[in-house]
Amino acid sequence: MIEVIGLTKSYGGRTRVDDVTFSVGDGRIVGFIGPNGAGKTTTMRTSLGLEKPDSGRALFDGRVYGELPKPRQSVGAVLDAGALIPELRAIELLRYCARVQGVDNARAEKVLDMVDLGGARRRRVRELSLGMRQRLALAAAILGNPGNYVLDEPLNGLDPSGIQWLRQLLIQLRDDGAAILLSSHIITELELVADDVVLICNGVLKLRSSLADLARGAGAHVHVVSEDVTTLIALAKENGATIVEADGRAAVVADLAAREVFSLAAAHGLVLDELRTERVSLDDVYRRIMDTKAEGEAR
């Protein structure tokens, strides 16, 4: 479990994070959103002890990062894939991380294959594309099999197949019980995997909610198309959904968020040809809050 409690951090007299409080439960993914400069990266760096907070703290399973007996086996982090040691080969980097984390080399080899970089094991980091470096950074994060993750823009540089791969990895980690704090500007992707959302702007918490509550509160419906729509409808009903409309391969579902419908389909091996939130999406909520802020500043 990750807890951010009253976290405040300033630079040069300017407050970048202002009394921010939220939590990430075990087996939950929290989408951490906000415009550039909102304070997301500062929150993450301060939580990991890379910056000293002015006040407040972050806890991982009840302890601050610096007090964890084996921090990298408790917390996996991706903050900047560009910070990887450029002259090391991919496997050398993971073996180095394995030594630091107290993990054997066999685990390093396995994880390299897990992130689909087995064929690039002898290539130097500087020779890898941004997407490949992002995969390597993720490999280092999952190396110690931690129960908590802090991931800052891990989708950067990934191609469509890489984004799909990361989506499945995050779902698997969450289903295994991990607490995941995930920032991204690709809000449509966050909506597919996140259980909850935290929105900050100018360092101030603006929204903290589950995706399901947002969808229900806004009266949103999920439109889905699948060859297996009959099975999906039955599964959705078992999980509290209301079927607003069903016609051939298409259905409109209420009382479940898009992420929940996607997870149901993935868990039962159902292929979705189309999945979208009608009327109100996370992106709609984000834009509405940002538009309200802009209007307030213009007055």
Q: Over 80: is that where the pLDDT of 280 sits? A: no
In eight-state DSSP terms, residue 152 is E
Domain co-membership, 230 together with 186: no
Tell me the average pLDDT across 253-275.
91
pLDDT in tens, 219-239: 668 899 999 999 999 999 999
The CA–CA distances, whole Å, from 288 to 27, 176, 184, 220, 252 equal 29, 34, 18, 15, 24
Domain that holds residue 150: 2-210
Tokens, residue 294:
């802009």
CATH number at residue 88: 3.40.50.300
- How high is the pLDDT of residue 299? 40
Higher per-residue confidence, 30 vs 277:
30
Q: 191, 210, 229 — which closes off a domain?
A: 210
Domain co-membership, 132 together with 59: yes
Tokens, residue 29:
């993914």
Domain co-membership, 202 together with 277: no
Token look-up 């009394």 returns: 19
Q: 210, 235, 257 — which closes off a domain?
A: 210
Q: Over 60: is that where the pLDDT of 216 sits? A: yes
Q: 156, 190, 210 — which closes off a domain?
A: 210
CATH number at residue 265: 3.30.70
Alpha-carbon gap, residue 51 to 74, rounded angstroms:
19
> With pLDDT > 70 as the criterion, what percentage of the chain qualifies?
94
Alpha-carbon gap, residue 29 to 182, rounded angstroms:
7
Domain co-membership, 183 together with 99: yes
Q: Quickly state the pLDDT bin for 44 (edges 50, 70, 90).
A: very high
- How high is the pLDDT of residue 233? 94
Q: Over 60: is that where the pLDDT of 56 sits? A: yes
Domain co-membership, 206 together with 252: no
**Over the chain, what is the mean pLDDT?**
89
Let me know the angle formed at the C-alpha of 4 by 263 and 134, rounded to the nearest 5 degrees: 55
Return all residues near 158 (Cβ < 8 A) that are at least 6 apart: 131, 134, 135, 165, 166
- How high is the pLDDT of residue 87? 92
Quickly count: other Cβ atoms within 10 Å of residue 58's Cβ: 24
pLDDT in tens, 131-143: 899 999 999 999 9
Domain co-membership, 201 together with 219: no
Domain co-membership, 30 together with 129: yes
Say how many domains are in the chain.
Answer: 2
Q: Are 196 and 211 in contact (CB under 8 A)?
A: yes
Phi/psi for 106 (5° steps) reads: -60, -35
Domain co-membership, 168 together with 135: yes
> With pLDDT > 90 as the criterion, what percentage of the chain qualifies?
63
Q: Are 93 and 125 in contact (CB under 8 A)?
A: yes
Alpha-carbon gap, residue 99 to 121, rounded angstroms:
17
pLDDT in tens, 154-173: 998 888 888 999 999 999 99
pLDDT in tens, 80-125: 877 788 899 999 999 999 988 888 888 998 999 889 898 898 999 9
Domain co-membership, 106 together with 191: yes
Alpha-carbon gap, residue 5 to 20, rounded angstroms:
7
Domain co-membership, 74 together with 146: yes
pLDDT in tens, 185-206: 888 888 889 999 999 999 999 9
Q: Over 50: is that where the pLDDT of 298 sits? A: no
Domain co-membership, 228 together with 250: yes
Domain co-membership, 87 together with 218: no
- How high is the pLDDT of residue 295? 45
- How high is the pLDDT of residue 43? 96
- How high is the pLDDT of residue 81? 72
Q: Are 76 and 146 in contact (CB under 8 A)?
A: yes
Q: Over 60: is that where the pLDDT of 177 sits? A: yes
